[in-house]
């Protein structure tokens, strides 16, 4: 079955009642511990792409940031607004690869988070989606991406993501790779003074142990060039 944007959106619209408790059961502070030191140290403008239940947006807002939460599924936005009625969160109907609403408003951000979204973006649209996220970063801003690594799953509207391939464009004038996870059995780990040269991927366990998923993350800094 071909996975497309309408299919993915329909899955979330139809299953919001089931997925919301699952997402909300995970602590964002724990899940995103790897990026905590990359967050702005002062109140800043943050974009949460594919904000889902608002879990991460609420966490970011609790740290004092003004958050634009972009989520295309109306059912998810309704639940998110109900669960996290924080005045520092602005909800908007928007999605990759275009981010047309955010771009239309002329907004720019100190930090952009795209958590568990990348696997829903068709491989042919990933370069474009990445450029869009980088384009809304302020100079020196940070883009953090987490994703589910592995083969696509038609029932969940996912495309395959492989660490063996470039799942994001190669760093260039507009952005620099800051850090990323690399599986321990693969060469080419990215070295960073605050991160071990080789890191095992995090495992997030669902209700069934057999459904454990491997999560990958990477962070990029906008240079303000190009």
> Is the confidence at residue 15, as pLDDT, over 80?
no
181/196 Cα distance (integer angstroms): 9
Q: What is the pLDDT of residue 218?
A: 82
Q: What is the pLDDT of residues 149-200, one digit of tens each?
A: 554 444 556 777 655 454 556 556 677 878 777 543 343 333 333 332 222 3
Options 3.40.50.150, 3.30.60.50, 3.40.80.10, 2.150.10.10; CATH for 5-222 is: 3.40.50.150
Q: Which position has the higher pLDDT, 201 or 9?
A: 9
For residue 33, with 0-12 CB atoms within 10 Å meaning exposed, 13-18 middle and 19 or more buried, which class applies?
exposed
Mean pLDDT of the chain: 76
Residue positions counted in the chain: 226
- Whole-number CA gyration radius for the chain: 17
Which among 35-44, 121-130, 142-151 has the top mean pLDDT?
Answer: 35-44
Q: What is the pLDDT of residue 172?
A: 62
- Helical pair 5-24 and 74-83, crossing angle rounded to 10 deg: 20
């Amino acid at each position: 079955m071909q996975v497309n944007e309408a299919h993915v959106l329909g899955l979330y619209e139809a299953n919001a009642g089931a997925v919301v408790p699952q997402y909300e059961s995970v602590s964002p502070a724990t899940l995103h511990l790897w990026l905590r030191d990359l967050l702005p140290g002062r109140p800043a403008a943050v974009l949460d792409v594919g904000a889902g239940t608002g879990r991460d947006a609420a966490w970011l807002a609790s740290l004092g940031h003004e958050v634009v939460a972009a989520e295309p599924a109306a059912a998810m936005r309704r639940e998110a607004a109900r669960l996290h009625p924080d005045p520092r969160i602005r909800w908007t109907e928007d999605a990759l690869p275009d981010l047309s609403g955010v771009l239309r408003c002329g907004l720019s951000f100190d930090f952009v988070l795209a958590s568990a979204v990348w696997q829903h973006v068709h491989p042919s649209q990933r370069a474009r989606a990445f450029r869009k996220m980088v384009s809304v970063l302020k100079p020196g801003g940070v883009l953090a991406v987490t994703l589910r690594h592995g083969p696509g799953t038609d029932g969940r509207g996912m495309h395959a993501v492989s660490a063996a391939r470039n799942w994001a464009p190669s760093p260039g004038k507009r952005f620099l790779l800051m850090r990323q996870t690399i599986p321990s059995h693969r060469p080419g780990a990215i070295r960073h003074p605050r991160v071990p040269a080789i890191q095992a991927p995090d495992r997030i366990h669902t209700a069934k142990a057999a459904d454990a998923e491997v999560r990958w993350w990477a962070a990029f800094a906008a240079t303000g060039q190009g």
